Structure 1
Amino acid sequence: MKLNISGGYLLVNPRELQVRLQSSQVVMTVLAEDIRLLASARLLLADAGAVRWQLPLDSDEQLQQLVEFYGITPE
């Protein structure tokens, strides 16, 4: 599944999620089990031990799509 976000898009599949930021040509990848979602701040959090990053989502709809796709309960 492809979700458009400000400045790029998310490529979502059952095993991993990729963030592709078009302006800087950055690609960030996280395995599905390392994804967290913060509902109050609409944040996608990647925590794979030594590698951590976060990405603000544009809308509650994007957050809900990720919740439904991965079956994650947002914090």
Structure 2
Amino acid sequence: MLIEFSQGKIIVTPHEIVVKLSSLPQCVLQAEQSAVSLFGAGANVMMANVGGVKWSLKLDSEEQIQTISQELGCEIA
């Protein structure tokens, strides 16, 4: 599934997530499903934390968090 947001594009599968930022086209953020945490309730933040790698991204809407949650099978905190 492809989700477009103000900072670029998010590609979501049941197993992983890939983020391509429009401001840094050479930069790609990728994480396995098990490393992703989602935070709703107005925060609308997606975070990946595994090993020594950690990144977070503020999304545009609660709807985007819900869509990612459904596709990945992750709960929203």
TM-score, length-scaled by structure 2: 0.90
Runs of 4+ in 1 over 2 A off after TM superposition: none
Uncovered stretches (5+) of structure 2, i.e. residues with no partner: none
Give the match for residue 8 of structure 1: 8
Structure 1: gaps of 5 or more residues: none
Pairwise CA distance, 1:62: 0.2
1:44 CA drift (Å): 0.2
Query: How many residues get paired?
Result: 75
* Greater RCO (Cα-Cα under 8 Å, separation 6 or more): 2
Deviations 1:1-36, CA, capped at 9 Å, x for gaps: 000011210011122100000221121100111000
2:47 corresponds, among 45, 65, 68, to: 45
Sequence identity percentage: 32
